[in-house]
Amino acid sequence: MSQNENAPDQKPEKKSHPLRSLVLFVLALCLGSGIFAWQEVQDFLGKAPESPGQSIIVDIEPGMTLAQVADTLEKQKVVTDSKKFQLLARWEDKGRSLQAGQFLLNTGWKPEQVLEMLASGRSMLYRLTLREGLPWWQVAEQLEKQGFCKAVDFTSVIHDPKFLQHWSIPFDSAEGFLYPETYLLPKPRELNMEAARSVANRLVEMFWKKVDKLWPEGRPARSDLTRLVTLASIVEKETSVPEERARVAGVYTNRLRIGMLLQADPTVIYGMGRSFSGRLLFRHLEDEKNPYNTYRRPGLPPGPICSFGAAALEAAKNPEEHAFLYFVATGKGREHKFSKSLKEHNRAVQEYRAVMKKKKD
């Protein structure tokens, strides 16, 4: 027997299959790529472009595609990667929900917060403050100055019969119904008639929202509404002292009851419009052509003379009961001296002039 025959049996050596190696390599490559991609995604989602961030106004125009929006965000450093933001928007199913407008974003926000803001439509709001006592043309000027609409368009809207009818305004303009308040409003992309109509609607809507609380039983009849809003506007112009509003309303209510001329300087000034130079002269008080001249024309003027607050309307609705027929400034502050007779009033006027003369000296 040969040596080879006496040797123990040996197992044949296994050879690695080339296909199996390729599959393992591909799997390892995919796993590595997946881990890398996952890390990239987590890094994009979990990290803001800047720390600390800064506020940025981003203008998203109507008709912009998702890619254009994402590119805009990347250029303004609100996101770090345009394509990844697009993937996020599609994954969240918000790619078609992005709204147009001006948005106040922050470079310290993570991508998901940016996406949520754009999809919610919470565009940037701007503060608009309208103080009490402004006539409509000054309101229009303020709106144009602050970029909400053109004054000429606003003027057209608040004199439009359809607009007035829609809001139950019983005058030939929305004077008195442009409620003085601090508003937060978006600025329009284009200063056109639609922009003017939008802001006019907002002001009148606020008027009814505020004053309807004074009439829990329902709005007054047209004639009562006309009287109350006109008187309220005069009260607004005559005193800035809250405690005097009902008393001033009482003076004019007394005069109307006995058929006495109102003789209210603010109505005369309003009737002169923008031509008023800042000084009321005797010839102005004698002008019978001025329909708002309550020195020459009996009763209330044709309509409101300014925007007024709810407090002035409440005073007109509930005037103080007293016997006063006159009032004049004291010259010592914002308060007025109220009198029951012309003799008392003339004395109060002399006191006022003396105080003013002393101040000049």
Of 114, 120, 132, 117, the closest CA to residue 45 belongs to 114
- The first and second tokens of residue 18, run together, are 């080339």
Residue 24 has pLDDT above 70, yes or no: no
| Residue 306 confidence class, pLDDT cut points 50, 70, 90 | very high
Distance CA 228, CA 316 (A): 6
Please tell me which residue, 268 or 19, carries the higher pLDDT value: 268
**CATH numbers and ranges of domains, the chain:** 55-120 (3.30.1490.480), 127-207 (no CATH), 222-322 (no CATH)
pTM: 0.77
pLDDT confidence tier of residue 1, bands split at 50, 70 and 90? very low
What's phi and psi for 167, nearest 5 deg?
Answer: -100, 10
Sign of the alpha-carbon torsion through 219, 225, 230, 232: negative
* Residue tagged 């994402």 (tokens): 70
18 pLDDT exceeds 70? no
Phi, psi of 48 (to 5 degrees): -80, 155
* Residue 36 banded pLDDT, cuts 50, 70, 90: very low
- Is the pLDDT at 131 greater than 50? The verdict is yes
Query: Given pLDDT bands bounded at 50, 70 and 90, which one contains residue 104?
Result: confident
Digit-coded pLDDT (tens) for 173-219: 999 999 999 999 988 888 999 999 999 999 999 999 999 999 988 99
CB 258 within 8 A of CB 340: no
Both tokens of residue 185?
A: 């409003």
235 contact partners, CB below 8 Å, separation of at least 6: 245, 248, 249, 252, 308, 312, 315, 316
Q: Which of 341, 339, 264, 342 is nearest to 297 (CA)?
A: 264
Q: How confident is the model at residue 121 (pLDDT cuts 50, 70, 90)?
A: confident
**Is pLDDT above 90 for 141?**
yes
